[in-house]
Structure 1
Amino acid sequence: MLFDISRLVRSYEQSFATGVDRIDLAIGLDLLKRFGSECHFVHAGRHGVCILPQDLGKAVLSRLQHLWNDDPSSVAKASALTKLRLKHEPRVRSHFFPPSDRIVSAQTTYVVASHSGVGKIAGGMSGLDPHRKMQRLIYIHDLIPIEYPEYQRPETKQQFSSFLKELTDAPVIAVSNSNDTDRRVKKFAAENAWQLAATDVIVPTLDFRLMPATPLTPSVSAFLENSSPYFVILGTIEPRKNHLLLLQIWRELSQLKNQPRLCIIGKRGWENENVVDMLERCPAITDTVFEFADLSDFEVQTVLQHATALLFPSFAEGLGLPMLEAAALGVPCVASDIPVFREIAPASTTFLSPLDGAGWLAEIVSRAGDVHNNQMKDQS
C-alpha cells in the first residue's frame, strides 16, 4: 500500500482541520492499521516526488491524530529534529528515484484521498510508476472546481483538471464520498475517456465525541455570555458557501428590536471581496455578526451546541460534515436544497433554495422569535 501523505505533511502544524483533512487522515490511519509494515508513504512537493521513511510518515499521522481528534493540550510541539526531517528529507530523497520494486510493483495500490500530491506534479505518476505497474485508487470529494469554476480561483479549474488527467491515464478505481458525487464522476469519466477499473461510494461517517474541555478564549466567552439567540455558519469563507446571502439578511435584521446574532466560524478563503467589504465596512452588522477564524474543536462544539440552528446556504457541496456535526449535538439545520444535502441530511432539516433570500429571512426570524418568546416565558 502506498498512501499519498502530501496534504497531511503540509498540514502538519495546523491546529484546525477541514473536512477533507479529517477524511484524508482517517483513510491514512486505516490503511496503516490494516497494512502495517506494508503501508508506505509518498510525498510530492516543490522538490518533486519521493517515498518518505515509514517512521516519518507514521509520525505525521500520529501527531495529527492527537492534534485533531484527541486532546490537543496533550500534544507537544513537534521536535526540531522532526521538523528538520520533514523539511529536508523529501528534497534529499527525491534524487533517489526510481523507488525499489518492492514498494512500486504490480502488487502495490497507490491511494490518494486529498485532491493533492503526486497528481499535482506534471509527470508525477510516470516518474513514480514509469511502467504503470501499480493499481491506482483516488477518493474524490467533489468536482466543484470543474463544475463551478466561478466559485474558485481563476487557476483552480485547470489545476484540478490536470490533477485528474495525471491520475487517470491508466486504469483507476474512483471512490466517491456520496452518491451525488459518484453520479458526477461517472459522467465526467465517460466524457473524458478515463480508464475506470471500478467505482465505489464510501460515505464518511462521523465518529462523534465531545472534545475534552479546554479554556475558552476571551472573545468566545464574551460571545456566549450574551443570552440573545444566535445562528452559526461553519466552514471556510468562500463564494460557494453563500455567506453574502446571510450578511445581507443580517443587514435587514438590523431594523428589528430583538436582533439575533450570526456566528461565522471559519477562515477567510478566496474571491471574497464583497463578503470582506461587508464584514469590515458595514456598520449595520457590526454588533450582530461575529467572525471566528481559529477556534479549537472544543470551542466549535461549545458554540455550535448552543446555537438556535446551523445555517448551510451553499450553492455547491461535496458532502457537508458540519450538518452531521450539528445533528450529533442535537442542533437543527437550515440548508440549501441541493442533491447531496437531500442525501445525507437528518429528517428534521429545513431545505430552502440558496437563492431564496426572503425564505431564509423568514425562517431565521421565525426561529429567533421562538427562542426569544421561550426566554420571556422562562423569565416570567
Structure 2
Amino acid sequence: MKRIVLYDCGRLMARAKSATPTGIDRVDLRYLDHFLNDPDTEVIGVGQKSDSLGIYADADVATIHRLLCRRWLDRAPLSDADKRTVTRTYLRGKVMSLGAKLGRKLTGARFPGALHRRLAGRGDTPLFYFNGSHKGLTKEPLFAAMKAELGAQLIFFVHDMIPVDFPQYVRPGHDEKHAVRMRIAARQGDLIVWNSIYSKDRFYAFADREGIAHPPGVILHIGVEPHFQVLPTSDVTEERPYFLIVGTVEPRKNLRVLLEAWELLRARGGPVPELRIIGKRGWVTEANEGDAERAASLAPDVVELDRVSDDALMVQLSGACALLFPSFTEGWGMPLVEAAVMGLPAIASDIPAFHEAGQGCALLLSPDSPEAWADAVTRYADPSLPDRATALAGLLRFAPPLWPAHFDGFEVALAEYMRNVAEK
C-alpha cells in the first residue's frame, strides 16, 4: 500500500560513528532499510528534540543508511572520506535538532514548516511514525500531537522491559526513564512490535499495572544476519579448549557466575579451559562490583578481548567449545541465535527468553549456580564425553529466524491493523 513513514532516525544519527552495532542498532537499521527499499513507501527522516520534531534532509538519511549498511551489515571498512561524510552528517543532524528546539521556543510549533509542506496534499495516504530503538519517548504531548495534528499512526518496537522489571541491573534513574517510554508506547502506540513472547508479556503486565488498555501488536523474532550462516575459515590452531561470553559486561549479564565457576575449576585441579570475554565494559552496580578485578586475577585462564568485529567474532565462535550466556534476564538472545546458526552449542541461563530463542537446543542452567556451570564446562570441554556431540546433533533442528520472514510478518500485521481501523 502507498504510505508515508516518519522514521525516527535519532539513534542511528547518534550512533553513526560507531564501528560495531548493538542489537538495537541492527534492528533500527534493518527497519530503515526495509522502508527505504519499499517502492510504495515515502520515508521522511525525523528526530525528537525535547517536545518538538525535527526533519532530516533526505540526502542525509540516504547517506547514513548507505554507510551504516556498508559498515554494520556488509562489514566493509569506511574510507577516510566516508568517515568525514559521517561526521558532517552527524553534525548537520545536531544542528537540525537545535533548530527544532529553537523553532518550538520561538513559534510554539511542534512540527517544522518543512514537514507540513511535505505532507500537504497527501490526501488519504496513510501516515505512520516508526520508532525502532526506544530513543527519546519522554515527551508524551509530542506523540499525542503527531496523532491529533498530523494524523499519524504510531508504531513502536519494544525490545525489552528490563529496566522496569530489574532496576538493580541498570544505571540509577534508568528504570523510571524506561517506564516513561513504555507508558508513552502503551498509551499512544497504535501498533507495537515485540521481539519475543516474553517482551510482550512483560509489556502487557506493565500496562495492567498502569491501568492502560493493551495496544495491538505482533511478536517478530529478530533476524540473524546472513553472514553468520556462512562458516568462516581460520588457519589458527587452538592449543586449549575455550568458551565465549559475548556482550557488554554489565550487571545483568552475570559474568560473576562464570568467574566463580572458573575459580572452582582451578581449585579442582586438572586442565582448565580458557574463558574469553568479548564485549566492552559497561556500568557497575552492586551486582557486578569488583568483577573486572576478579577477571584480571584469573588470567591467563580468563581473557578479555573487548568488542570485536562480526568477522572476528565469527572466527572466535567457530573454534569455541560453547557459547556461555549466564544472563539474569534478556528480552531476546541474539548471540545465542547467532551461535546456533553457526553450529555452536550454547550453555545458557534458564530464563524465559532463552527457552524461546534457543528452541530447546541450548543447555539451560540456573544463573545462580557456579557449580552447575563449572560441571557443564568440564563436560563440554572433554571430547571423550558425549555432552557436546549430543548438543551439536540437537542443533540440526534449529530453525534460524530470518529478516525476510520478519518483515513479511510485519507487513501482514500492519495490513491487518489497517483493515481493523477501516472497519471501525
**TM-score of the aligned structures, taking structure 1 as reference length:** 0.86
Measure the CA separation in 2 of the matches of 1:213 and 1:231.
Answer: 18
Aligned to 2:84: 78
RMSD, matched Cα: 3.0
Aligned to 1:237: 249
* Structure 1 runs of 4+ with >4 Å offset: 45-48, 126-130, 210-214, 272-276, 281-284
Measure the CA separation in 2 of the matches of 1:125 and 1:344.
Answer: 32
Letter in 1 for 2:349: S
Change (3 A) 1:48 1:288: farther
Aligned to 2:143: 125
Letter in 2 for 1:228: R
Letter in 2 for 1:17: P
CA contact (8 A) 2:171 2:285 kept: no
Measure the CA separation in 1 of the matches of 2:231 and 2:198.
Answer: 37
Measure the CA separation in 1 of the matches of 2:230 and 2:89.
Answer: 27
- Residue 361 of structure 1: CA displacement? 1.0
After superposition, where does 1:229-378 map in structure 2 within 5 Å? 229-255=241-267, 256-272=269-285, 275=288, 277-280=290-293, 284-370=297-383
Change (3 A) 1:93 1:132: closer
CA contact (8 A) 1:47 1:90 kept: no
Aligned to 1:13: 17
1:67 alignment partner, SS class: helix
2:149 alignment partner, SS class: coil
Aligned to 1:146: 164
Aligned to 2:133: 114
Measure the CA separation in 1 of the matches of 2:311 and 2:92.
Answer: 31
- Residue 20 of structure 1: CA displacement? 1.1
Q: What is the number of residues matched between the two proteins?
A: 365
- Residue 272 of structure 1: CA displacement? 4.8
Letter in 2 for 1:108: L
- Residue 264 of structure 1: CA displacement? 0.6
CA contact (8 A) 2:20 2:309 kept: yes
After superposition, where does 1:80-95 map in structure 2 within 5 Å? 81-95=88-102
Aligned to 1:377: none
Question: Which of 184, 191, 199 matches 1:181?
Answer: 199
Aligned to 2:62: 58
2:226 alignment partner, SS class: coil
Question: Which of 20, 37, 41 matches 2:45?
Answer: 41
Measure the CA separation in 1 of the matches of 2:47 and 2:143.
Answer: 12
- Residue 290 of structure 1: CA displacement? 0.9
Structure 2 unaligned blocks of 5 or more: 104-108, 387-424
Change (3 A) 1:114 1:147: same
Structure 1 unaligned blocks of 5 or more: 374-380
CA contact (8 A) 2:143 2:188 kept: no
2:69 alignment partner, SS class: helix
Measure the CA separation in 2 of the matches of 1:142 and 1:210.
Answer: 24
